[in-house]
């Protein structure tokens, strides 16, 4: 590692580069649903830069991804499924990494797997509910989700409509009050 005259070690991008993925990412772009690559880069940010465990890194990453999908008003899977999907992609990366150093074992098939996996990274990290398109009522939302699922991932998340936001908050408050009332009733 290179050092300066003061004894402080210098960290270069080459040292922090994650094989097949690139540089870690401290936060997601708030205007687009994330690709698999962006989610893994965020995961590696928490794992390597913030020095969190794999479980904590996956949990925090899942929460950020869910927040972005909720901002887009797309019905999503449960948090545990998002968490397991992040861990699945990390395991795939680990399996590919096993033959990274061994030049003799790196056959054409392994190189092809690496290339296929790297191309798949630019696909949408899709955590939409399986019936999302039928659940969604706004046609623009459906078109946005379909555009994000295509190659090139067309469309961006715009600003939130204040009227809709107020309706959601009121609905959330009513549901919270109902849950509190139910909890009090069951305690009696």
Residue 178 lies in a domain: yes
Residue 130 lies in a domain: yes
Q: Are residues 106 and 179 in the same domain?
A: no
Residue 131 lies in a domain: yes
pLDDT given at position 6: 63
Give a three-class secondary structure readout of 25-61.
CCCCCCCCCCEHHHHHHHHHHHHHHCCCCHHHHHHHH
Residue 6 lies in a domain: no
The CA-atom distances, in angstroms, between 88 and each of 13, 44, 74, 84 are 26, 14, 22, 6
Q: Provide the domain count of the chain.
A: 2
Residue 8 lies in a domain: no
Residue 1 lies in a domain: no
pLDDT given at position 19: 87
Q: Are residues 92 and 150 in the same domain?
A: yes
Q: Are residues 149 and 180 in the same domain?
A: no
Q: Are residues 164 and 136 in the same domain?
A: no
pLDDT given at position 18: 87
pLDDT given at position 72: 87
The token pair at 38 is 């962006």
Domain that holds residue 102: 13-157
Residue 117 lies in a domain: yes
pLDDT given at position 73: 86
pLDDT in tens, the chain (188 residues): 455 556 666 666 666 788 888 898 899 988 889 999 999 999 999 999 999 999 999 999 999 999 999 888 899 999 999 999 999 999 999 998 887 776 666 788 888 888 999 999 999 999 999 999 999 988 888 898 898 888 877 777 776 666 766 776 777 777 677 677 657 665 65
Q: Are residues 139 and 48 in the same domain?
A: yes
Q: Are residues 101 and 188 in the same domain?
A: no
For the chain, where are the alpha helices, taking DSSP H only? 13-16, 36-44, 54-71, 79-97, 108-120, 132-135, 139-149, 162-187
Q: Are residues 64 and 75 in the same domain?
A: yes
Q: Are residues 55 and 138 in the same domain?
A: yes
Residue 47 lies in a domain: yes
pLDDT given at position 13: 60
């Amino acid at each position: 590692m290179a050092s300066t005259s003061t004894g402080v070690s210098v960290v270069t991008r080459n040292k922090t580069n994650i094989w097949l993925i690139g540089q870690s990412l401290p936060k997601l772009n708030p205007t687009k649903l994330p690709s698999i690559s962006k989610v893994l880069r965020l995961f590696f940010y928490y794992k390597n830069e913030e020095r969190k465990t794999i479980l904590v890194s996956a949990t925090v990453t899942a929460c950020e991804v869910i927040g972005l999908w909720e901002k887009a008003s797309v019905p999503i899977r449960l948090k545990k499924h998002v968490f397991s999907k992040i861990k699945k992609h990390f395991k795939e990366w680990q399996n590919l990494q096993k033959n990274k150093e061994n030049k003799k074992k790196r056959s054409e098939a392994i190189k092809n797997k690496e290339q296929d996996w790297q191309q798949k990274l630019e696909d949408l990290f899709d955590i939409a509910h399986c019936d999302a398109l039928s659940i969604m009522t706004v046609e623009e939302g459906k078109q946005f989700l379909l555009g994000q699922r295509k190659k090139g991932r067309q469309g961006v998340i715009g600003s939130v409509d204040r009227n809709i936001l107020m309706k959601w908050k009121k609905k959330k408050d009513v549901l919270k009050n109902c849950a509190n009332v139910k909890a009090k009733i069951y305690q009696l």
